[in-house]
Amino acid sequence: MKRILAILAGSVLFATFGSLCSIRAAATQGSQTSTSNNSGEGTEPVVDLSASSNETETPTRHARSARHNNRHGHELTELPPGIEPYPEITHWNSGLPALPVQQSDTIVVATVESSQAFLSADRHSVYSDFGLIVARVLKTTGIAVTQGQTITAERTGGAVKFPSGRITRFRIHQQGFPEPARQYLFFLKSQPESADFYIVTGYELNSGKVQPLDGVGFNKTEYSQFAQYQGVEEVSFLSQVVQEINAEPGAARFAAVDFHACDT
């Protein structure tokens, strides 16, 4: 099997890229016969409103929950039958490039190990945590991250189970939720006060192809900056990401990067 050679120079930015063949193998394993559901239906982690309590939270969890306070100004309440909340419009994608290298201090290839939803400290909103097993570190200039480490990344939104048993989904317009047992390239921003990250955006790596986590597959409207990568070959996509990282001012360079198809 031919491997990608990545020889790093400099120390301002730590980036490793290992073997694309191994990344492709890991991405394909267990997911090559299915595709993601970006619509948000059924992919959100669920928190039970009745069972959830802030009284037993650790300081770290409280810091994470408090960060989501005051989003709506009122506690989460069950809507009348047949009515679902609209996705929240935030214009989060305005000015955000499809490959937000400069907006992210951490870029990793990782498999989603777990997902769990939580209420904000004031119980006015919901957010979701994802446990990520890091397979490759492409960039880390915030909280230090190493290959094999499990990190926590969060995203606003999730599903809430009300006492009646009804489950209501809350999310940001055109943002998806990563699914357990799938592998993604994540663009992350570190949050040192709570030792975790938030997801800027991501791309699923599935059977040698790329599927945007955001902006595609929700309705007839797509965010073109993300849609351009739908179905793109994984090797060429990851190659472009590495080039973008190396183009950053002061970045450590890949002195040689040789991309080849994997031998079988």
- pLDDT bracket for residue 153 (50, 70, 90): very high
Written as one letter, the residue type at 123 is R
HSE toward the beta carbon, residue 74, CA cutoff 13 A:
3
Tell me the CATH number at 20: 2.40.50.120
**C-beta of residue 109 within 8 angstroms of C-beta of residue 135:** yes
Q: Is the Cα torsion angle 94, 65, 157, 72 positive or negative in sign?
A: negative
Any domain includes 87: yes
Rounded Cα distance between 150 and 185, Å, is: 15
Q: What is the pTM of this model?
A: 0.79
β-pair partners for 151 = 132
pLDDT in tens, 239-262: 999 999 999 887 654 423 333 433
What is the CB neighbour count within 10 angstroms for residue 182? 19
For 203, the 3-state DSSP assignment is strand
Q: What is the mean pLDDT of residues 37-45?
A: 66
Taking only the tens place, the pLDDT of each residue in 76-103 is 888 888 888 767 777 777 788 999 999 9
Model pLDDT for residues 173-219, shown as the tens digit of each residue: 889 999 999 999 999 999 888 889 999 999 999 999 999 998 887 66
Whose structure tokens read 């360079």? 253
pLDDT of 106 above 90: yes
Number of domains the chain is built from: 1
From residue 92, how far is each of 73, 118, 141, 228, 234 by CA, in Å?
Answer: 20, 21, 23, 18, 26
Q: Does some domain include residue 262?
A: no
217 in any annotated domain: yes
Range of the domain at 215: 6-257
**127: confidence class by pLDDT, cuts 50, 70, 90:** very high
Q: Is 214 inside a domain boundary?
A: yes
Q: Is the pLDDT of residue 104 over 70?
A: yes
Asked whether residue 124 is assigned to any structural domain, the reply reads yes
Closest CA to 199 of 118, 132, 113: 132
Closest CA to 105 of 178, 16, 175, 187: 187
CA-CA distance, 25 to 183, in Å (whole number)?
Answer: 11
Predicted local distance difference test score (pLDDT) of residue 62: 74
Residue 184 phi, psi dihedral angles, 5° rounding? -135, 155
Q: How much of the chain exceeds pLDDT 70, in percent?
A: 73
- Assess if residue 263 is contained within a domain: no
- The Cα 171–Cα 175 span in angstroms is 7
- Residue 1 domain flag: no
Q: Is residue 98 part of a domain?
A: yes
